[in-house]
Every structure is written in structure tokens, then in C-alpha cells.
A and B are shown apart, each in its own frame.
Chain A
Amino acid sequence: MLIGFSLLALNLFGKENSPIDFNRDILPIFSDNCFHCHGPDAKARKADLRLDQPEGLLLSSENTPLLIPGNPDSSEIVKRLESKDSDEVMPPPESNRSLTEKQIRTIRLWIEQGAPWQDHWSFKKLTRPNLPEIQNRFLPRNPLDHFILNRLERVGLSFNPEANKEILIRRVSLDLTGLPPTLEELDAFLRDDRPDAYDRLIDRLLLSPRYGERMVWDWLEAARYADSNGYQGDRERTMWPWRDWVIKALNTNQPFDQFTIDQLAGDLVPTARFDQILATGFNRNHMINGEGGRIPEENRMEYVMDMTETVGTVWLGLTLNCCRCHDHKFDPLTRKEYYQLSAFFNQTPINGGGGDPQTAPILTVPGREQKTQLLTLETKIQNLSMEVSTLEKNIPALVALTEISEQELSKPTEKEVRKALAPSPCSRNKDQLNKIAEFFTHKHSVYVNRIRALQNLVNTRNQLNRSIPKVMVMKDRETRRESFILTMGLYNQPEEKVNAGTPSSLPDLPTDRHPDRLSLAQWLVSPDNPLTARVIVNRYWQIFFDEGLVRTPEDFGTQGKRPTHPGLLDFLATEFIRTEWNVKALHRLIVTSTAYRQSSKVSQSLQERDPENELLARGPRARRPSWMLRDQALAASGLISDPIGGPSVMPYQPGGIWREATFGKKTYTQDHGGNLYRRSVYTFWRRIVGPTQFFDVSKRQSCVVKPTRTNSPLHALLTLNETTYVEAARQLAQRTLIHNDSNVERIRFAFRSVTARFPTESEQHILQERLNRLGHHFESNSDAVEHLLQIGESANENNLDPVEHAAYTLLCNLILNLDETLSKQ
């Protein structure tokens, strides 16, 4: 595909006829076809020849040059590529790899031009590029547009006109907050004819608490967040306080470098705050295997590798997992370096055992109310405990029991009671207290009464403690664990010992401290790291344009795609660092660009020429994520429930989904009331059988940074028939009927509530006709009316005409399924 793209860049886009660019045109060909045997992997390397370094090309093993710059005809490499002899031709036929004639021509051209070499683009030091020249100086709104327009102008294109205000507010509201504008917000924006009306809109959206709830989704998929452990048993966990921490960090615009350090190593920061330790839950979101018969150490190593690879994907855009077993085939990463990286995560006291669903280390995260209750209880326990202590000094039998020697105790009960009395009263558990009380019953009623009271308090406190969410967090052991290269990643096959360290193809770790997770986190967000800023801004770009500038956000290696706008990517990355990793500023920059504000309309000729919208000669258009569609329906209908954060909720789900998957061991207990209408991000996520009302979402089993976007009939069935969607249609219909009198007004209201625009005359006509037919149908089908209006648990207004309400419900159901409704447009 890379090759496809580069040739496209040369040919399909016409006039863009630049000289051969090694990174764009040549490296991908080598990587795809040669590196497998002549690349970074030392073990797989054939004929001691390596083509990922310039030395290899200029000097083969027999000391004859493989390539003579300027002279393709005499270059051995060209002979081998063009050979018809099956013993000589490269790649060999049995590899199933082969070069096209075009690719060979490209290589010839490159040699002709002197065969200039470049390091792989993403490993190159970040430098802030100059703004490219452009002809139409009126079009750009900010520096980003220079890069895009420059490329457009080179191929004889320009920006599309700006999308109209209705489309814009809907596009950017959903992009920044995941919710459509309300009619009031829409009207306010349309009325605002100041030149900076759009900027004011962005101000408002960036300050909305809904911003964090929207942005968190992608982070949760990357962090493989879920509410259960996965695997057999799939026991519940309570990592949601960590999820709430992320929402808060996003809403308060925590700088991304701090965001990184807190999540990877907040526990190691000197005088770490509670919330910094909470943040380290990030890397405890992996699955936990509690299956009987599993070997704990095997699990533990699996978790260490999961943490390593997740960090590799999220911050570095590197496919580290390849190096579990061998040196990377395509990128400058060795197997040893993989295990050096994993050594950072090999220091936790996690033991790999199943057992308790929340495996240590854990942080208890009481809510405000729980904190107060706990404090009150502890005070009571302390006070009562002192009282008990005093009493105990004055009960001779008791004193005797604690003072005589072990041998003199005749009855086993005496021994037990003596043991129970050993700790100070406030540290005794409920069983110990119970033993004491039973032993002294009928003898010292006042004392026993106090002991029973203490027992009750301890019971209450224990219950309270159990209800307090426990978040699994990171911590390092006192003594360092040794780390090894593992054969094929197998826990029980250690080879050479390794120390924590970072790959040699990237900048060095600071040497002023012993390398630990904190130094790794600081290294990741150091301005010298060429990958992190590029990888992160690329994923942010993806949120707004649906595709990254690098269309393989998970792979910035040689097998990944090259950026469509390399200068723009580097500009954004350096700007991100310059603004001290200010995420909201970056988002503002993107959404205020001319590129983003373009209309997404596309002519047939442009669609043919640039089907993937790589050039950005039009605005983004794509189906919205399924979770956002659900939120949109809830918001448009007015059903949506506001609170931020808290335990995960269980909205509607067809009966028996969990039971069927778990043989009845787990039963879904649907919530009622407001919890049915919470935003999708709060939906309880069981790993082995995820929520059914979403599609194209990560399974939350491992790190995912590229959303999938497919188009299937199963999606249509969901948005047409699922309870939430039908109920949203019913509630939107109700609002429509209450707020408007004429059918004309009502249709306009319903349509606009969802799409943020009024229907055209022909659209209005079609909907009016449908309404009439539905009205006729329901007039003679009162059963159907009754059934339809009972879907979902929210109440109907009493004074509505049921036939009308039913007809409007299906009309709204239709509007909620328009492609326009489902899409960013």
C-alpha cells in the first residue's frame, strides 16, 4: 500500500513531479520486499547483507558494491531485481514477494539520481519546518493550512468553500464534546454574526465538561479499559475511578507530558499525590487470567509484556510485539531492546495469581461521603476501644487469662480467647471480638456489651470498606527483580540478563538516575524524543479528520504508512512541544483551520482522483463512532442524563446475553431511571461479552489506537431497533408535539433537532407524506400504537394523542437513521 501511495503521489495526483524521495519512494519497497531477509533481524539475515543501512547497499559481503550511485545498469541490485534466472532473481520466487516493473523503474531512477540515503523519517530529530510557500494568501486561517494548501496548489487544486454554519456547529460540537448542539446553541451561533463567532463557539466547547467525556473514549480503547478481568470467570473490577481521573485530566487540560508521567510513573514521583498514584491505573487495565491450572509466573510475564507493548503503541507508535521472539524484521529494534524496555515494568510486586479480582498493588478510592463515614466510624472505634481497654484492666479473670503461662491454660477455648485478646481492641477482627464476647457472656455483662458494640462497628466499617472501589495501581518492589531475554517470550526460558534501557536507535535515557519507570516516562516526553509528539498529534488529527496524517497510527516504523503531509506532522509536533504539550490549544489549532472548516462535498472527478481524501481538498466525512450515535440520540431526545463519572452503569440489553455466554454464571441486571440514559462511556464493559449496543469498537482486550469503520446490515438493525434508539425517537416525538402546533413546524423541529438544519422542501414533502401514511396506519391499529409507545422505561405525557405520538415516533426513528445523522458531514 505504501508503494501504491507513493506511485499515486507521483502519477495520480499529476503535476506533483518531484525527484525521488528515499523515505517516500524507496524505503517502503526495500522494507516490503527485502528486509525480511536483509533487514535488522540478525538471525534471519541472509548472505550477511543488510539493506536497512547505507553501508549494506554500498558494500556487499564480497566487498563488491551492490549499487553504484548514478549508474543503475552496472548496479548488482538492479541486475538481481531484473534477472529472469530463478536462482538469481531477488526476491527469490519462494518468498512470494516480487517487485512490479514500476517499482524497479523507481529504484533505477533513484540510483540514477545518485541514490541518496535517509534515515527512516519518524526516527529523525524533530525540527520545526518553515511554512511552505502558497499562492492564495487569503485562504489559510492558520499555519496548518499552509502545508495543506501548498500540496493542493502543487497539484492544481485548492480548498473547498467553507461548510455552512449549521454543518460546522454540528461537526465541531460532536467532534469536541460528542454531543450535537441544542437548538438554543444552534440559534445563538446562527445569530452571532461577529467575525469571531466560530472562535467563540470553540471557546465554549473546549470549556464544556462534555469535552473530557468525549476525548476519553479513544484513551480508554488505547488503555484497554474494562470493568471485568477477562478470561474464565471474568470477575468484576473497579477501575472506574481511574477512568474518572482521565476525564478530569482532559477537562482541566493537564499538559500531555504530565498526563504521561502521572499515568506511567505517578507513584515514583517524589512525594506523589493520591491522584498521581491513581493515574498509574493506566497500565493495570490489562486482562487478568484467573483460569485454574494457569501458572502465575507465566501470567505475570504476559502482563509485563502487555504493559511494554501498550506503551510502545500508545507513545512510540512502534510494533514492539514483533521483538518478543526475534529482532524486528523491519525496524531498528532488537529482541534484547524489547526485554530491556520490559524490564521497566518487571519491577512491580504483581504476582500473576488469580484469586481476588483486584490484584495488588491496589489503591482504595473512597468517595467523599464514604470518606466521612469511614472517618466517623474510625473515631467511634478508637473511642470505644479505649473504653474497652480500661475495662479489661479491671476484670481479674481476663487479666489472669492474659498473664498466666501458656502451659497453665487447660481448655482450647481459653487459648483462643487469649490469642484474641492479644491485639489492642481496635485492631481485633470481628471473629476475635466474637470469641471474646462469647467467652465472657453472663460473666461481665457491661464488658460484653461494649465488645458487642465494638464488633458491630468493625462489621460496619468492613462492609463500608468492601464497597469502596479499589483501583489496581503501579508500584515498584523494594528489591529489584532481575530481567532476562526470554526465548519466544516464554517465562521459563530465560537467556541473557538485561538491564532496563531504551532502544539505541532513539535518544539516550538521562544518566543522572537509576533507570526506572519515571525515567522512562520522562524520556518519552522529552523534547528530544522524535516519536512521542509525532505519534500523539497524529492521533489527535485522527479524531478530527477520521484518518491520521500517518494512516497507520499504530505503526510509525518502516512498514507503516508515511505521513500524507510530513511537514504538517512535524509542525504540529513541534508546536505541541512549544506550547508545553497543551492539548486544548492543539485541538483549537486544528478545528480553526480552513482545512477543517471546509465543506465535505466532493465532485465525481475529485472523488476519483483522491478517494481517500489524502490531499484534504474537502472537509472530513465519515460515519460517527457507534457510542457517539447513541449519545447523540439520547441528547437529541432530551433523555440524556448529566452526571460525570461514577460506577459503570447497565443500560438496556437484550435478555440472556451474559447468561448465554457464561452458562448462567453472570446475569445482567439492567439499571433503571437515569442510569439508562448515561453517556455511553459509562456503560459497564464486560470483557468476554461486551456491550451489545456498540459496533466497531475495541474489544478492550488489548491496546487499540485505530478505530475501525465498517458498514454492515447489523449496524442498521441496531440503530433502527435497539430500545434506546426507539425510546429516543419516542421522546423526541413527544418534545416535537409539545413544542410545536402545525405539522410543518413539527417536522422542521424534529429534523432540525437531529441534523441541526431545516429540511429542504422536498425532504419536508417526503416526511409529510410518510407522516400521513403512518397516521392512517396507526388510526386503525391501536394495539400497535400501544406497543410502540411502551418501548423504553421513560414516561409519556398524558395529554398527547397516541396515534400522532406513534406516527411521529417512527418519523423520528427514520430521521435518527439518516446517513447524514449517522455521519460527520
Chain B
Amino acid sequence: MNPILESQAHLTRRQFFGRSAVGIGTAALAPLLSRDLQSSVGTLSSKLSIRSQELPGISHFVPKAKRVIYLFQNGAPSHVELFDWKLKLKALHGQPVPEEYVKGKRFSTMTGKPQGKLMLAPVEPFQQHGQSGAWVSNFMPHTASISDELCFVKSMHTEAVNHAPAICFFLSGSEIPGRPTLGAWLTYGLGSESENLPSFVVMTSVTKNTTCGQIFYDFYWGSGFLPSKLQGVKFRSIGDPVLYLSNPDGVNRQVRRGQLDDLSQLNQMNLEEFGDPEIATRIAQYEMAFRMQSSVPELTDLSDESPETLDMYGPQVHERGSFAFNCLMARRMAERGVRCVQLMHAGWDQHNSITTELYNQCRDTDQPSAALIKDLKQRGLLDDTLVIWGGEFGRTPFLQGDMKDRKRWGRDHHPYAFTVWMAGGGVRPGITYGASDDLAMNVAENPVHVHDFQATLLHLMGIDHEQLTYKFQGRRFRLTDVHGKIVKPIIA
């Protein structure tokens, strides 16, 4: 549907419920409401929706992507080790950091002053791949094999040097927790495509036995001052995927249906007496809850996947809570119209484990990430699904640790240049955009700040980042604060 028409449709529905919900039969309301309630402003209780802010000025462009899958790599993968190949780094291996590269820069207190640190060449060789000739490390053979689908942005830079603030900055535009996150903004602006599933879903995983996993704070998918209903719904890896999804023991679906039929009828009687349209909303939400009780288990049941598909994601696909499982789930959610899927995988914080744990980290993430791209493509979903892979910053081209102790080699946090890749959803495939300098230390050309990245992402989704605003505490807030330039060259 044309987004502007779509927004008008929301508005109409909103007015409809604001004015005339009273007295309409539940049966007629339910299908209308369920969709409306998943959408942007109609998401608030109907009373609130009327008093809530006007519809944001969405969709000034035809969207290239309808949904986004963000493979967020918590802990900061090393751009130096994986994607950003530098001959000179190899040449300077073991030499002190040249002063001109780090002058006046702030590093984490673990590094303190970078002066005197020794340069560290990548531990695995790189090769060029595909027609695009992208350099990818041997750490990532599967990603390398799909490099013609990918757009590498090698000139990312950010402001924070510690994990939580930096992740927060990427996902919410602010280092301090409490702002709405990307998925909340997207749902706020675009509403949902799904009648039966939440529009913003989060799944987390961590590499097994890693010593450097970072905690997942729920403000990474919070809705901040946007209606709390827009916050990401965290799918769990143990128990019910959605909290309290299962009926109590001893209550089957028919029994529950019977209860809900009465509940609807009794609530309807109360609606007729009291006239509060909120009651109609409540009826509809209980129906949506009932639908989720079947749509979520159907979503998480992989028995209809072919062996070929499962194989593609690798052996861990069968383990609930693994990155591979979550990648496959992301594809299934994309098929079912979930607007924003945020996968977060922890364990990338290799301060002293480049030569050890980084192998496990790549083993667990490389194949599933590539499989997701291939799978989306073979189902024709890649064109309108934007996939992003990247962390909150990069890692230092110089060594953290003792050069003589190869087993404990590491790299510290590095916000001044790093790499993310994107695919599908209107991004030009098979290109590399921007570059770091000859030691992968600082951005050398076409810098992409986090706010630029966010502006571009919203643009691909059909949203003008300057117009998707929400007024709170007297100020119009937006994801990109007062910054952000769209990176046009990467748009197909």
C-alpha cells in the first residue's frame, strides 16, 4: 500500500474509533482494531491515541525496504581482523603506533594512552572475493562467499568508547539510556504489517563459553518516551518465547476460547453501559493475545523447514537461543510481516582472545549470517528486507597485551574507524563505501557517522529522519538528534 494512503487509513480508523466505537458489535470491531492497534499512533489505548500526537510525517519517499533485520554484534567485532585489509599494518607489525595517527585521541581507560603500543597485523590472511573483489578475512568464509550481495561501509565512526553507551548510541541516537530505539521509531512511523505478531522483535544469543560477553540491557530495545507498546518484544530462548504466552497447565485452547467468548460478551455489555471506547480496544487486544498463542508457536516451530534450508544455517540451527536459530527465526518473521527484527549476539569483546575465542565467535555467526542473506534471496524477500551486520565500534589496529604472549593477544575499543555491512532493501550490492587510512586507524574518506547511518536506514524505509519526530518534555526528539546526512551513494 502506498505509505501516504496507509497513513491516511490509520487516521481514518483512528477517527472512527474515537467517535463511534460505542455500540458496534465486537465481531465487526475485532479485525479492524487488531490491525490498527499494531500500528503507529493507534497503538495507544484508543483514548490516548486521540490525545497523542499527530501522525508523524512519514513516508515522503517510496520505501526501498519494508522491514529490517539488524544483526547487531555486541562487543565490537574487529574491523582490522575481519574486513579492513591493510598492507601497511602487516608491514608495521610489532612497531610502535605512529604518533600522528593517535594524537589527542581518547581511548578507553584500559588502553589509557596509545603511545608506545605496538601495531598488530591481522592474525588470519585476507583474500579478495567475487566479482566485487571485496577483501574478507579467512575468519569469515561464508560471508566472503556472498560478498557480491553486500555493501561494506568501511568508514563508520562513533563517539562513545564503552560498550553500553556506544550500543545505546547506535540503537537510540543517544549514549544515555532512555531514548526510543530504532525499532520503536520504525513501528511508530510505519505501523505493523502483521495481524498476529508484534512488529518489533528482539532475540539475543551469545557465543558458547566466551569470556567476553556483554550484558543485553532492555533499553537496547526500549521505547523511551514513545508509547511503551512500541518497545521491542523480547523472544526468549527458554520457556515461552513470549512471556506468559502459554495457557496455564490444565487449560486447553478450546477452554480458553470459551472463557474469552464470555469475556468479550461481558465486556461488550459494560461498553454499552459505560461508553468508554477503551473497552472495545481491550476486547480486541484479548483476541490478538489469543491469536498470538497460535501464531508464535507456529513461528517457532521449524518442522516445516527443508533439510537443505536447515543445513544452510549450520548445525546450531537446531539449538534454540543460538545465533543460527535466531537467524532462521528472523527469516520466518520477515515472511510474516514483522517490521523490525533485532538480533543481538554477544561475545565480540576480544581484549585478549583474538587468537583463541575469535575463532568460535566467527564459527557461530559467519555461516548463519550468510545463510540468512541467501535464504531471503531465494525466497524473493531480500529486495525489500534490509539486513545490517555490525557492532558498536571497531577494535584498535594496535595490540592490547604482550607481543610475546600470542595466546593472549587482544585489541581494545576503537571508535575512530570501523566496518559494518548491509544487504538487500535498496542498498547497492557488491560495493565498498568509504575507507579508513592505511592503518585502519581513522576514517580517510567518506566518513559515515552513526547518525548518518541512522538517517540512511530510515530513508531506505521511506522515512525522512528529520520529520519522524516526537515531542517530549517540550522538545521534538528524533532518532538522529539534530544530525544525520543520508549516505546516497550506497542506495541502489
Contact = CB atoms under 8 A, between A and B. Distances in A.
29 contacts: A1-B51, A291-B162, A293-B162, A294-B162, A319-B473, A331-B474, A552-B473, A559-B473, A602-B274, A602-B275, A604-B22, A607-B276, A654-B244, A655-B238, A656-B239, A660-B236, A661-B215, A661-B218, A699-B219, A709-B45, A711-B285, A714-B243, A716-B286, A716-B288, A717-B292, A721-B245, A781-B250, A785-B250, A806-B250
Nearest to A653: B243
B466 interface: yes
Contacts of B256: 720
Given A557-B474, A602-B274, A790-B249, A716 B289 contact: yes
Contacts of A294: 109, 162
Given A1-B471, A774-B255, A654 B242 contact: no
A38 B262 CA distance: 58
Tell which of A294, A600, A711, A823 has the most Cβ of chain B within 10 Å: A711
Contacts of A623: 45, 278, 282
Contact of A622 (B204, B218, B278): B278
Interface in A544-572: 551-552, 554-555, 557-560
B228 interface: yes
Contact of A654 (B240, B251, B277): B240
B278 A600 contact: no
Nearest to B53: A1
Given A604-B20, A767-B262, A770-B262, A612 B229 contact: no
Nearest to A231: B164
Interface in A760-818: 760, 762-763, 766-767, 770, 773-774, 777, 781, 783-791, 806, 810, 813-814, 817-818
A713 B288 contact: yes
Interface residues of B, number: 93
B228 A788 contact: no
Contacts of B273: 601
Contacts of B45: 623, 709-711
Contacts of B249: 784, 787-788, 790-791
Contacts of A710: 43-45, 48, 227-229
Interface string B246-266: 111111100110110011011
Interface string A128-171: 00000000000000000000000000000000000000000000
A329 B475 contact: yes
Given A601-B275, A721-B247, 14 more contacts: A231-B217, A292-B110, A607-B19, A611-B47, A611-B50, A622-B47, A699-B219, A709-B48, A710-B44, A711-B282, A713-B285, A714-B289, A819-B282, A823-B276
Which label, helix, strand, loop or mixed, suits the secondary structure of the A interface? loop
Given A701-B177, A763-B269, A660 B215 contact: no
Contacts of B162: 291, 293-294
B244 to A, nearest CB: 4
B110 A662 contact: no
Interface in A264-297: 291-295
A618 to B, nearest CB: 9
A319 B474 contact: yes
A726 B251 CA distance: 11
B275 A818 contact: no
Given A601-B275, A710-B227, A555 B473 contact: yes
A608 B244 contact: no
Contact of A810 (B215, B251, B275): B251
Contact of A612 (B50, B275, B282, B288): B50
B179 to A, nearest CB: 11
Interface string A688-722: 11101001100101100000111111111110111
A23 interface: no
Contacts of A774: 255, 258
Given A604-B20, A663-B215, A711-B281, A818 B263 contact: yes
Contact of A607 (B22, B471, B474): B22
Given A293-B110, A603-B275, A717-B245, A559 B215 contact: no
Given A656-B238, A774-B255, A559 B475 contact: yes
B315 interface: no
Interface string A314-330: 00000101100000011
Nearest to B247: A721
Interface of B: 18-20, 22-23, 37, 43-48, 50-51, 53-54, 57, 108-110, 161-164, 177-178, 198, 204, 206, 213-219, 222, 227-229, 233, 236-240, 242-252, 255-256, 258-259, 262-263, 265-267, 269-271, 273-279, 281-283, 285-286, 288-289, 292-293, 346, 413, 466-467, 471, 473-475
A783 B251 CA distance: 10
B244 A722 contact: yes
A767 B266 CA distance: 9
Contacts of A601: 273-275
Contact of B243 (A234, A611, A717, A813): A717
Contacts of B214: 232
A301 interface: no
Nearest to A556: B474
A414 interface: no
B266 A763 contact: yes
Contacts of B215: 232, 234, 661-663, 688
A711 B44 contact: yes
A601 B271 CA distance: 9
A819 B222 contact: no
Tell which of A558, A600, A787, A820 has the most Cβ of chain B within 10 Å: A820
Contact of A660 (B238, B246, B255): B238
